[in-house]
Structures are given as structure tokens and as C-alpha cells.
């Protein structure tokens, strides 16, 4: 490998160091650590590299000899995307590092969820390319069990395939986790890790048709260029996939725009998957590669307890052996009351308009009901057809409290198989996925 003399004008700042690692970790290592990386021997940070790192950190690194090759000091890798929180409207911050925030139900009233009100779920740091909104040279590799592996630029995607725009629900598999008892670790999502923006891109199925699936293709594996929370550029943040039959549904998109604009940094700029009906984790942001697999994908967070449920019902708190866990696929039927806001006063003896959305992982919501008496009686709500499959559906109902006092409005959606949202948290599982309990809001009749 050629030696690389670091001249002063090549001194790297914070962003530069991160970028150098993204472009070519070996060269970056050599520039910063002054050595050829060697996996089984620790190198020493020295010379111009040490100076650059020290300058970027604003301090010397007394233990620099112990800093392993390829590990960017975490202080340099701190970009969680938090500066974009100001563009969000009233979201509840659940975790700053990585950045996770959910939307209160009453702010999810829009038919099409605006950027300002879409939840944020990051497993790692936001990549520099997204923070810079720099899509130059971006490519998507589609390879594995395919006849013609392809590397597609954004222009290729835009020009070689039909562009489609669909409203699609994106819901985190852990939405509702906060209500499990005993609780599960992870972000304590209540009801607002869901939204339904309009996505523009190409059908994943069209791209898969173009590369030509081999008969052994059974699963997809997704990759993005976000950075592990440790700052280690070699670590994959999350890499999930879906059965090839799911990937070929016409509503699964490779999207470059949300609500008519380039994807925002927090939501996957410049390219992401949108796999509606599946846990949000399948919808890879910052998408760089789709690896078609000849077996169930085994990327990071596909195994263990991540996005997996016990294969059989268990009592709350049960220790479930890992080999008894199964991948969470289709999300359950669900609804949200988006108006009125919980806790408001409403007039006695007069109808109050209740509204919200309903959706189901199988794309088939059949009925919507509300109750004003803690589930003793249910009244049918009016349910609109979705603009397309996997969009959430608007519903509305009028309820009339007959005397003054405290009431709860409960909402319950039913899917095409007659499966309803339960009145209690269903299916306890170790990591708290798939909670589709009915939604409740409080109203005070005065
Ligand atoms: N590259 C990448 N893609 C990702 C994630 C991530 O951390 N990195 N999080 C996933 C999870 S768990 C969810 S729920 C959705 C959240 O999408 P959003 O942040 O745009 O709302 O993105 C998914 N795609
Ligand atoms: Mo998620």
C-alpha cells in the first residue's frame, strides 16, 4: 500500500474524519494512525494523525496508544441528528443517543403525516452524507441470489423504473412497548411511533425483476450507511430483511422522497425502503445495498430477541429460550384516536366528534368501533376507504355523554379476518413488540 504523507492542507476536521472513514477506512486509518491497519495488533495514533484527531477533539488524547485501529473517538461521532429536532412539532424525546422521539396522538390527526410530526427511530448515528444532504455518487447495490447484480445510481432508479407515490404506514415494531408489564427494555414508545407519509420511489419488485431473482432467492437483507453509536465505522447498525414474497408486493418501495420532498436526513436521505405492514425496522434508511439471500437473512438485529416473538404464548415475565423465538412479520390491526386530545372537556348531552386512523399489517381493515362505557357497548364508526393499500384509513364517530363526569373513549379496529384490537396488552414478549391494544382517551363532560 502506498504511503500517504499528510500535508497540513489535508488536516481533517470532525466531519472530515468521519467522511474519510466512510469513504475508505483503510486509507483513513493510515492517514490518522500513520500505519497500515492490522487486525490482530493495536496500532499507535501518532504524528499528523494524532495532531488531526487532537485538533478535532480540542484536546490531547493521553491514552492514544490504547485507541484501537478503526475506532473513531466517540466524541467525534456524536452526531445524533439532534439539531433537526427543532423541525419537529411537539414530539416526545425518548432517547437522545441514538435519537428517538414519538408523536403525541393528537398531533397525528393529518391524513398524510407531515415531516414535522413523523416519529424518529434511530438505532445509530445519522450518517454524515445525510446530515450534509450529500447524495453525490450514491449507489444502491442489488446482489446475491440474482442473475445480474446491479449498482444503481439515484438517476438510474429515477429513469429506469416507473415512479410511484403511495401513502404508507410506517410503524415501529416496539410501538406500545411502554404498556407491557413486566416492562421491556428499549424505547418506551406509547402510541406515537407510527405515521403515514406519502412516499415516492420505485417498486422494490421492479428492481428485483430487473436483476432477475434466482430460484434460490428466499429473503432480502438490507444495509444502510449509518454509524454505530460507538463510532466504529465497521459495525453495521441494523440490517434486517423480509421474505422474498413480501418484498415483491407492489407497495414495497425504494423511496427517495417523502411528501414530495427529498427524504429528510432523519428519515433516510437519500434513499430508503418502505415495507408497509411489517415492523418499521424492515424499512431500511440510508439504503446502500439489498442483498438477496438464499436463506433467512442473518444481519444485525435479525436474531436473538430483536424483533422476535415467542413461538407460543407465554406468561408475562417468562424467560423464553432464544431458539423458541420467531421473527415478527405482519403487524397487527390497530387504531388511534387523534381527536379530541386526551383530557379535554366536552359538552354534556351533545355529540362530540371523535376521529382517528385505523390500519393493519395485512392491509385489510374491515370495521371500526368506539366505546364510551369502558367497552361494555360499542358503536360503529364511519370508516373511509384507504387511498391505496397499506395507507391508514380515516374514521369518525359522534359520542354523546349523557351526564357530567369522566369518560373514556376507546377505539377498536377489526381486520378482514375478524381479528380485533384487544382491550388489554396482548401477547407479552421479552422485548415488548406488537402491542395493538385499543387506544383510550379521557374526556370530561361538563
Ligand atoms: N439505516 C437504518 N434504517 C432504519 C433504522 C436505523 O436505525 N437505521 N431504524 C429502523 C426502525 S427500527 C424504524 S421503526 C424505522 C423508523 O423510521 P423513521 O425514523 O423514518 O420514522 O426505520 C428503520 N430503518
Ligand atoms: Mo422500529
- pLDDT level of residue 64 (50, 70, 90 thresholds): confident
DSSP state of 416: T
Residue 1 has pLDDT above 50, yes or no: no
- Rounded Cα gap, residues 70 and 35, in angstroms: 11
Kindly tell me if the per-residue pLDDT of 37 is higher than 90: no
Is 49 a residue whose pLDDT tops 70?
A: no
Answer whether 190's CB lies under 8 Å from 122's CB.
Answer: no
CA distance 50 to 187: 37
More confident residue, 1 or 318: 318
What pLDDT does 389 receive? 98
Q: Is the pLDDT of residue 94 over 90?
A: yes
Q: Give me the pLDDT at residue 47, please.
A: 64
Helix boundaries (H) for 199-319: 204-211, 244-247
In this prediction, residue 22 carries a pLDDT of: 65
pTM of the predicted model, to two decimals? 0.86
d(CA 228, CA 124): 5
* pLDDT reported for residue 54: 73
Mean pLDDT of 400-427: 97
Which whole-number Å values give the CA distances from 73 to 66, 171, 266, 392, in the listed order? 11, 33, 23, 43
The domain locations on the chain are: 8-77, 82-327, 334-445
Q: Which ligand is nearest to the CA of 177?
A: 2
Identify the residue with better confidence: 71 or 85.
85
Q: Flag whether pLDDT at 201 surpasses 50.
A: yes
| DSSP category for residue 417 | T
Q: What sign has the CA pseudo-torsion 73, 76, 81, 85?
A: positive
Confirm if 397 and 354 have CB atoms less than 8 A apart.
yes
Residue 7 is predicted with a pLDDT of: 40
Q: What is the DSSP letter of 317?
A: T
Residue with CA at minimum distance from ligand 1 atom 23: 281
Substitution candidate for ligand 1 out of 259, 265, 268, 288 with most atoms within 8 A of CB? 268
Q: Relative to the CA of 224, which ligand 1 atom is closest?
A: 1
Rounded Cα distance, 416 and 102, in Å = 28
Residues 6+ apart with CB under 8 A from 393: 357, 358, 359, 365, 368, 383, 384, 385, 386
DSSP letter, residue 282 = G
Q: Which of 7-11, 35-39, 298-302 has the lowest mean pLDDT?
A: 7-11
Q: How far apart are CA 386 and CA 234, in angstroms?
A: 42
Reported as type and span, the H/E element at residue 156 is helix 154-160
User: Which residue has a Cα nearest atom 20 of ligand 1?
Assistant: 267
Domain spanning 334-445, CATH architecture:
Sandwich (2.60)
pLDDT over 90 (residue 28): no
Mean pLDDT on 386-411? 98
pLDDT mean over 37-41: 42
User: Which ligand is closest to the CA of 432, given by its number?
Assistant: 2
CA dihedral 84, 230, 275, 325 (to 10 degrees): -140
User: Considering the domain 82-327 in this protein, what is its CATH number?
Assistant: 3.90.420.10
Closest atom of ligand 1 to 223 CA is 1
Mutate to test the pocket of ligand 1, among 238, 253, 299, 431 (most ligand atoms within 8 A of CB): 238
- How many angstroms separate the CA atoms of 105 and 108, rounded? 5
Instruction: Report the C-alpha gap between 191 and 243 in whole angstroms.
Output: 27
217 has a pLDDT exceeding 90: yes
Please report the pLDDT score of residue 144 as a whole number.
Answer: 98
- pLDDT at position 233, please? 80
Closest ligand, as measured to the CA of 115:
1
Within 13 Å, how many C-alpha atoms sit on residue 240's CB side? 27
* % of the chain exceeding 90 in pLDDT: 79
Spatial neighbors of 293 by CB under 8 A, at least 6 apart, are 144, 145, 217, 218, 219, 220, 221, 241
Average pLDDT over residues 63-89: 77
The rounded Å distance from CA 121 to ligand 1 centre is 5
Question: Looking at the predicted structure, is the pLDDT value of residue 324 above 90?
Answer: yes
Q: What is the mean pLDDT of the chain?
A: 90
Ligand 1 cavity residues, CB under 6 Å? 118-124, 170, 172, 224, 226, 237-238, 267-268, 280-281, 283-286
Question: pLDDT digit string (tens) for 225-278?
Answer: 998 988 788 899 999 999 999 999 999 999 999 999 999 999 999 999 999 999
CB 140 within 8 A of CB 287: yes
Which atom in ligand 1 lies closest to the alpha carbon of residue 122? 7
9 has a pLDDT exceeding 50: no
DSSP per-residue codes, 4-60? ----GGG---HHHHHHHHHH-HHHHHHHHHSS---TTS-----HHHHHHHHHHHTS-
| pLDDT value of position 60 | 79
pLDDT at 438 over 50: yes
Reduced DSSP (H G I as helix, E B as strand, rest coil) percent helix, strand, coil of the chain, to 5? 20, 30, 50
Amino acid at each position: 500500500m502506498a504511503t500517504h504523507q499528510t500535508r497540513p492542507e489535508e488536516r481533517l476536521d470532525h466531519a472530515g474524519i468521519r467522511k474519510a472513514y466512510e469513504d475508505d477506512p483503510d486509507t483513513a486509518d493510515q492517514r490518522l494512525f500513520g500505519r497500515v491497519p492490522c487486525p490482530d495488533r493495536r496500532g499507535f495514533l501518532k504524528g499528523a494523525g494524532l495532531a488531526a484527531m487532537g485538533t478535532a477533539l480540542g484536546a490531547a488524547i493521553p491514552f492514544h496508544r490504547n485507541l484501537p485501529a478503526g475506532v473513531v473517538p466517540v466524541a467525534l461521532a456524536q452526531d445524533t441528528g439532534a439539531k433537526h429536532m427543532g423541525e419537529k412539532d411537539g414530539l416526545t424525546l425518548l432517547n437522545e443517543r441514538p435519537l428517538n422521539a414519538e408523536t403525541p396522538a393528537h398531533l397525528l390527526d393529518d391524513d398524510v403525516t407531515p415531516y414535522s410530526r413523523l416519529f424518529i427511530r434511530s438505532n445509530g448515528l445519522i450518517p454524515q452524507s445525510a446530515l450534509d444532504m450529500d447524495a453525490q455518487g450514491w449507489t444502491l447495490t442489488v446482489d446475491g441470489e440474482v442473475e445480474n447484480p446491479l449498482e444503481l445510481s439515484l438517476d438510474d432508479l429515477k429513469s429506469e423504473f416507473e415512479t410511484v407515490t403511495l401513502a404508507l404506514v410506517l410503524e415501529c415494531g416496539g410501538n406500545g412497548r411502554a404498556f407491557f408489564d413486566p416492562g421491556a427494555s428499549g424505547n418506551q414508545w406509547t402510541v406515537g411511533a407510527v405515521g403515514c407519509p406519502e412516499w415516492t420511489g420505485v417498486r422494490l419488485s421492479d428492481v428485483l425483476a430487473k436483476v432477475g431473482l434466482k430460484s434460490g432467492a428466499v429473503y432480502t437483507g438490507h444495509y444502510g450507511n449509518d454509524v454505530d453509536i460507538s463510532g466504529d465505522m465497521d459495525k453495521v447498525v441494523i440490517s434486517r430483511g423480509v421474505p422474498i414474497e413480501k418484498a415483491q408486493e407492489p407497495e414495497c418501495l425504494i423511496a427517495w422522497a417523502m411528501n414530495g420532498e427529498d427524504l429528510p436526513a432523519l428519515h433516510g436521505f437519500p434513499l430508503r425502503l418502505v415495507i408497509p405492514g411489517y415492523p418499521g425496522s424492515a424499512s431500511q434508511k440510508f439504503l446502500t445495498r439489498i442483498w438477496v439471500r438464499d436463506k433467512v437473512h442473518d444481519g444485525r438485529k435479525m436474531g436473538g430477541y430483536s424483533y422476535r416473538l415467542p413461538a407460543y404464548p407465554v406468561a408475562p415475565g417468562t424467560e423464553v429460550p432464544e431458539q423458541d423465538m420467531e421473527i415478527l412479520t405482519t403487524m397487527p390491526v390497530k387504531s388511534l384516536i387523534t381527536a379530541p386530545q386526551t383530557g379535554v372537556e366536552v359538552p354534556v348531552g351533545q355529540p362530540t366528534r371523535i376521529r382517528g386512523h385505523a390500519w393493519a399489517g395485512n392491509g385489510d381493515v374491515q370495521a371500526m368501533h368506539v366505546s364510551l362505557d369502558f367497552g361494555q357497548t360499542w358503536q360503529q364508526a364511519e370508516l373511509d376507504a384507504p387511498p391505496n393499500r397499506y395507507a391508514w384509513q380515516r374514521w369518525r364517530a359522534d359520542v354523546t355523554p349523557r351526564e357530567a363526569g369522566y369518560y373514556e373513549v376507546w377505539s377498536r379496529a377489526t381486520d378482514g379476518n375478524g381479528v380485533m384490537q384487544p382491550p388489554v396488552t396482548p401477547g407479552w414478549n421479552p422485548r415488548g413488540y406488537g402491542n395493538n391494544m385499543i387506544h383510550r382517551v379521557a374526556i370530561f363532560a361538563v
